[in-house]
Every structure is written in structure tokens, then in C-alpha cells.
Amino acid sequence: MNSFFATCRSHARWIAALATGFFVAGCASTSSSFPPAPTSAATPGYNYIVGPGDSLNIIVWRNPELSMSVPVRPDGKLSTPLVDELVVQGKTPVEIARDVEKALSKLVRDPVVTVIVTSFVGPYSEQIRVVGEAAKPQFLPYKQKMTLLDVMIAVGGLTDFADGNAATILRASEGDKRYSVRIKDLIKRGDISANVEMKPGDVIIIPQGWF
């Protein structure tokens, strides 16, 4: 009987030690060896860059018959009745307007063109991507002053299995430097100090937690 109780106590100690190990591992997952992301990261003087999937409203002053809304094709080009195979990917709306004016000048006297983006996707290099334990992992077009909170609202928050405080940002604009972010504190606890600004091309990586 004494040996039976001794065996039980030994098993209990082993189970307790194992549980403690899992607990410590779980706590360790919320820490990060990466530096915290800077709160301010907006790009001064940022201009939107057009990409495949965007829709452009081309307005030709005094020539309504030439004004139209056109999509940017997957190859980054657009075509209109008088402007064919114009490369627009990677350009700003103002740059595209000048290119359209140049093309139309062969047929229209002193054309004045304005280009307005009506549907935003942006080039791949500018998009914000969210991978891992987000409710709806996806890519989003970058917008000036866009924050981590904006992104998390757009993707529906975290899954039940996410370790939000172990999430990181992979910042392509800084040579793929990694930063830690506290998403759980931000959206579960309302800690606004955990909110940070995004940069074009950022990738948010949300790992699964230990349970």
C-alpha cells in the first residue's frame, strides 16, 4: 500500500512538473526577441501607387466622349479607344494623367487629363498582408496613416487560437526587418499604446498560441 501511494505521489509530481513546463512555454510564446514596432511609421509625402485590379476614372477636359472609367488589367496596363496598351502599374494618378495627355496629344489639341482612382487594390509591393491566426487572413491596400488597429478590424480580429502578443511585423521597406506587436493587448484589452502605424508592404504574422 505504501508503495502504491509513493507511486501516485511520484506521478503527481511528474504531472505537475509537466504542466508547469507547458505553462512556462506558453508564457514564453508571448515574449519576443524582436524590438517593438515604432509607433509612428507613416511615409511623408506618400502618393498612392496604381496596381492591377484598380479602377481609374479618366477625365478629359472639354472632351466628355473621351472620358471613361477603365480597369487596370492584370498585366498592369489599360486600354481606351484612343490610348492603347498604356503601362500604369507602379505610377501615381498624376503620372498616368500626364502619360494619357501625351498619347492623346497626337489626336486632340492640348488635352487636359485628370485621373481619379475609384477602386483601390494597389501593386503587390505596397499591399499590407495578414497571415496566420487572423479571423480572415488577406491583403489590404495601403493607406497613409493606416494603423495596426485599422488592419485588425478589416481582418475580423484574432482567432481563438491566436497568440496575439507574439505577433510580428515583417517590414519589407526596411530590408525585411522584424518587429514585435501586441495585438492581443490592443484589441482584447483596449490598450491603445499597442497601436502602431503601418508601412507599405508590411506583413503581419500572427502565430498560434500554446494551450
What parts of the chain have a pLDDT lower than 50?
1-31
List the domains of the chain with CATH numbers. 31-45+124-206 (3.10.560.10), 55-119 (3.30.1950.10)
Residue 131: which H helix or E strand, with range? strand 128-132
| Confidence (pTM) | 0.78
pLDDT of residue 45: 83
What pLDDT is attached to residue 61?
94
pLDDT tens per residue, range 76-98? 999 888 888 999 999 999 999 99
* Whole-number pLDDT of residue 49: 95
- Which residues in 44-55 are b (16+ Cβ under 10 Å) and which e? eeeebbbbbbbb
Q: What is the pLDDT of residue 121?
A: 94
pLDDT at 210: 75
Write out the H or E segment, with its range, that includes residue 138: strand 138-140
Cα 123 versus chain centre, distance:
12
CA–CA separation, 112 and 90 (whole Å): 22
Q: How many CB atoms within 10 Å of residue 88?
A: 24
* pLDDT value for 89: 96
- Residues 11 and 105: their CA atoms lie apart, in Å, by 87
Q: What is the pLDDT of residue 171?
A: 97
Q: What pLDDT is attached to residue 82? A: 83
* Beta partners for residue 177, in sequence order: 171
Say if residues 205 and 132 touch (Cβ distance below 8 Å): yes
Confidence (pLDDT) at 16: 38
What per-residue confidence (pLDDT) applies to 211?
59
Say how far apart CA 199 and CA 178 lie, in whole Å. Answer: 13
